[in-house]
Structures are given as structure tokens and as C-alpha cells.
């Protein structure tokens, strides 16, 4: 049983925790039992949402009599039609890192129901994806693999490898993902610099107050050798001038961050690094002006790009990005892991504790900021 005061039942009914998620309930049995054991006043009802593609996500039909009783909702995309349809709902825990996919929904726009995310559960697997792509690029692995398929022994490319030691990793958006990238990059001997919207000038302001997978990340914010900040172009440009070898984009998609990297920014990167900056985008496709990225790749303004996100998604088969030089594209899979659902339930469990004890929710969305 968990600590803290036990919340009395509302009348004789338990509080309904409605879970509408795409994973089988069996994948999270252990943590679900931990939740029902620690919060005996909660009745957890699980609905697995089945869909074949992203366009069908959130379209599952949930009986009105079920969601009308909900006090807490755990979801990836599905939402009730309006706040009035869920009069007792006082927490929505998203199992996604962001909420831009529901930003136009009435519950997001017109209600004050607290919204929290699963930010923090993606750090390990996405950091591995970023570093994997960086090493594939730096070690010319694609050409080696193509030679293998041709059954050719070609070892000249191995003589031009530029290893990671001493290279500079610039992390645009120093949240849980960026902090784990920093941890791995430092282990390889890289220098790390960070960029955030707000200044982080004190030890306390540099701390990560969100959910952290144990043993990962940079909880105290001590890894960057330099920290840049701002919401204006001049501040961003100062950061991009820092001779960055690997630029990791890890910011939420908002009006302010849309096309954050465009022609002017690629020109700055070209001028600041003679080796060429490698760009890894694991946030949202709209962060980059995609036509400008294609031109930057074609003109060798950057050394290459690794993209787990594109604009739009899925990327149409005739989009010129597919055939741009030195680009690696994956279909928005870097955040996937067998441990995903279980970790997201851990975030939910922590927020149920804070809700019970009157604490500040972890990963709560600021609707005005959009994240």
C-alpha cells in the first residue's frame, strides 16, 4: 500500500480511472496492480484502442455512461466530446510527450481540466536513436552495408572516420530527451551545449523537475559546458554559431517553433562549422522548413540529416525529401520501446499520488505556452 492519506470514497462508489490506450492491458499488468493496490478507492477500467494507422487514432467509440463517470482519464489520443460530458473529470494523463495533436479539441481549448503528459519516458530509446544515426553517418555505415550486399570488400571508407571525441553536440530543447542525449554524448567524449527558451542561470533552474527514468538523463543540469536561451532569432542564431557538429532538435511544436530552422539558420550552420553540422530531428517535422532543408542538403550546407519526423506524416512517396542526399528517414518510431506503456503508467502513478496528497502535478501542460 502507498503512503499518504487515504482519500474517502465519494458516497459508495469508487473513483473511475478510465484508460483508453493502444497497448494490451497485459503489457502493463505489474504497474497496473501497483496502482490498484496503492489506490484502493480507484476502479481502473481499461479499453484497448485498435487502429491500423495514425489517422484512425482517437476514433474509438467509448460508451457515454462510462466516460461520464470518469474522474481520471489515461489516453494517447481519445478524448470525450467536451468538458460538459465529463463533469467529474479532474485529470487527463496523456501517454504522449506532447499534446499538439489535441490542441484544437474543446477540452484543450475551453476547459481547465489539468492535462499532463508522459514526457520523460522517451529519453533512453530516443537518445539511442540519435546516437545510432550520428554513428552511422560518421562511420559511413550505409556505404559499407551497400558494399556488403554487393559482396564487395571495400575498406577505404573506414580510413576517413571522424570519431565522436571532441565533437560538439548542440541540444535545442534540453528536456528529458536532450538530457539523455547529453549523458550518452559525454560518455563518448563529446562536448555538450544546451539551448532552452528561458534562462537557466542558477543550479535550481537547471534541474529536471519532470519524470526521469531512473539512472538516465542529467537531473541536475550539470553536463552542458555552456547554456544558451531565448525566444528570439538573435538568441537562437548565437547558439547556432557555436561550431556544432551534431544538432539535436528536441523542442515541442508551437507557433513559435514552427520552421525554427530555415534558410537563414542553415546558412549560419554552414559558416560556423567547416566539417558540416549533422541535424537530428526527433521532435516534430514542422520544426524544420522542409524545402529549405532539402536545399541545404543538396548544397552541402550541412553534412546530413537524420529525421524521425517529417512534414507531413506519412511522408508521400513522391516527396523530394526521400531522395535528398545524406538523409536518413525513419517513420516516427524513435520513441518506441517495449517499456513505453509501463513507463507511462509510472508517470500516471506519480500524478495519482500528487493528486491524492495535494502536490504539484508532474508534466502539467501550460495551455498558454502550448506545452
Q: Are domains 15-121+337-357 and 123-329 of this chain identical in fold?
A: yes
Q: In whole angstroms, how far apart are CA 24 and each of 28, 96, 97?
A: 8, 17, 20
Q: Are 116 and 362 in contact (CB under 8 A)?
A: yes
Query: What confidence score (pLDDT) does residue 2 get?
Result: 40
> In CATH, what is the architecture of 123-329?
3-Layer(aba) Sandwich (3.40)
Q: Is 8 a residue whose pLDDT tops 90? A: no
Q: Cis before residue 312, ω within 30 degrees of 0?
A: yes
pLDDT tens for 101-113 read: 899 999 999 999 9
C-alpha to C-alpha distance for 204 and 183, rounded to whole angstroms: 19
In which element (H, E) is residue 227 found?
strand 226-229
Q: Angle at which helices 263-272 and 233-240 pack, to 10 degrees?
A: 30
pLDDT at 55: 73
Q: Please give the mean pLDDT across all residues of the chain.
A: 94
pLDDT of residue 59: 84
Q: Are 197 and 228 in contact (CB under 8 A)?
A: no
pTM: 0.87
3-state secondary structure of 278: strand
Q: How confident is the model at residue 1 (pLDDT cuts 50, 70, 90)?
A: very low
pLDDT category of residue 10 using cuts at 50, 70 and 90: very low
For residues 193 and 226, the answer to whether their CB atoms sit within 8 Å is yes
Q: So what's the pLDDT on residue 157?
A: 73
Residue 133 CA: distances (Å) to CA of 124, 173, 194, 281, 308 = 14, 19, 20, 11, 10
164-202 pLDDT, tens per residue?
999 999 999 999 999 999 999 999 999 999 999 999 999
pLDDT in tens, 277-335: 999 999 999 999 999 999 999 999 999 999 999 999 999 999 999 999 999 999 999 99
% of residues, the chain, pLDDT over 70:
97
Q: Which of 82, 55, 52 is nearest to 68 (CA)?
A: 82
For residue 191, what are the β-bridge partners? 168
Q: Of 106, 105, 67, 109, which is closest to residue 89 (Cα–Cα)? A: 67
53 pLDDT above the threshold of 80 = no
| Count of all residues that appear for the chain in the document | 371
Break the chain into its structural domains and give their ranges: 15-121+337-357, 123-329
- Split at pLDDT 50, 70, 90, the class of 371 is confident
CATH architecture of 15-121+337-357: 3-Layer(aba) Sandwich (3.40)
pLDDT given for residue 332 in this prediction: 95
Q: How many alpha carbons fall within 13 Å on the CB side of residue 315?
A: 20
Maximum distance among all alpha carbons in the chain? Answer: 75
Nearest of 171, 177, 145, 169 to residue 158 by alpha carbon: 145
Q: Is the pLDDT score of 3 beyond 70?
A: no
Query: 193-203 as b/e, with b when 16 or more CB fall inside 10 Å?
Result: bbbbbeebeee
Sign of CA dihedral 119, 171, 130, 301: positive
Q: Flag whether pLDDT at 252 surpasses 50.
A: yes
> pLDDT category, 74, cuts 50, 70, 90?
very high
Are 128 and 187 in contact, with CB atoms under 8 Å apart?
no
Residue 206 · residue 227 · CB < 8 Å: yes
Amino acid at each position: 500500500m502507498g503512503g499518504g492519506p487515504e482519500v474517502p470514497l465519494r458516497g459508495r462508489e469508487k473513483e473511475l480511472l478510465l484508460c483508453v490506450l493502444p497497448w494490451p492491458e497485459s503489457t502493463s499488468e505489474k504497474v497496473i496492480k501497483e496502482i490498484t493496490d496503492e489506490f484502493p478507492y480507484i476502479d481502473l477500467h481499461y479499453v484497448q484502442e485498435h487502429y491500423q494507422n495514425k489517422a484512425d487514432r482517437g476514433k474509438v467509440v467509448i460508451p457515454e455512461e462510462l466516460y461520464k463517470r470518469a474522474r481520471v482519464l489515461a489516453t494517447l489520443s481519445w478524448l470525450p466530446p467536451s468538458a460538459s460530458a465529463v463533469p467529474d473529470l479532474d485529470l487527463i494523463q496523456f501517454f504522449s510527450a506532447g499534446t499538439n495533436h489535441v490542441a484544437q479539441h474543446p477540452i484543450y481549448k475551453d476547459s481547465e481540466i489539468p492535462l499532463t503528459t508522459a514526457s520523460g519516458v522517451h529519453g533512453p530509446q530516443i537518445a539511442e536513436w540519435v546516437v545510432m544515426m550520428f554513428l552511422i553517418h560518421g562511420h559511413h555505415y550505409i556505404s559499407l552495408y551497400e558494399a556488403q550486399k554487393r559482396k564487395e570488400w571495400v575498406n577505404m571508407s573506414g580510413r576517413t572516420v571522424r570519431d565522436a571525441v571532441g565533437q560538439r553536440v548542440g541540444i535545442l530543447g534540453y528536456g528529458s530527451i536532450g538530457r539523455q542525449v547529453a549523458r550518452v554524448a559525454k560518455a563518448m567524449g563529446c562536448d555538450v551545449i544546451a539551448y532552452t527558451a528561458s534562462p537557466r542561470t542558477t543550479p535550481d533552474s537547471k534541474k529536471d523537475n519532470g519524470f526521469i527514468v531512473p539512472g538516465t538523463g542529467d537531473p541536475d543540469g550539470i553536463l552542458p559546458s555552456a547554456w544558451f536561451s531565448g525566444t528570439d532569432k538573435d538568441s537562437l542564431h548565437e547558439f547556432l554559431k557555436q561550431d556544432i557538429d551534431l544538432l539535436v532538435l528536441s523542442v515541442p511544436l508551437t507557433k513559435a517553433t514552427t520552421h525554427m530552422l530555415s534558410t537563414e539558420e542553415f546558412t549560419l550552420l554552414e559558416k560556423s562549422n567547416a566539417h558540416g553540422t549533422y541535424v537530428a530531428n526527433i521532435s516534430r517535422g514542422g520544426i524544420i522548413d522542409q524545402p529549405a532543408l532539402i536545399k541545404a542538403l543538396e548544397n552541402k550546407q550541412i553534412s546530413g540529416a537524420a529525421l524521425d519526423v517529417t512534414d507531413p506524416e506519412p511522408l508521400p512517396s513522391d516527396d523530394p525529401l526521400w531522395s535528398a542526399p545524406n538523409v536518413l528517414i525513419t517513420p516516427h518510431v524513435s520513441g518506441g520501446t517495449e517499456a513505453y506503456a509501463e513507463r507511462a503508467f509510472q508517470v500516471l502513478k506519480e500524478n495519482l499520488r500528487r493528486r491524492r496528497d495535494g502536490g504539484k502535478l508532474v508534466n502539467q501542460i501550460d495551455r498558454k505556452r502550448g506545452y
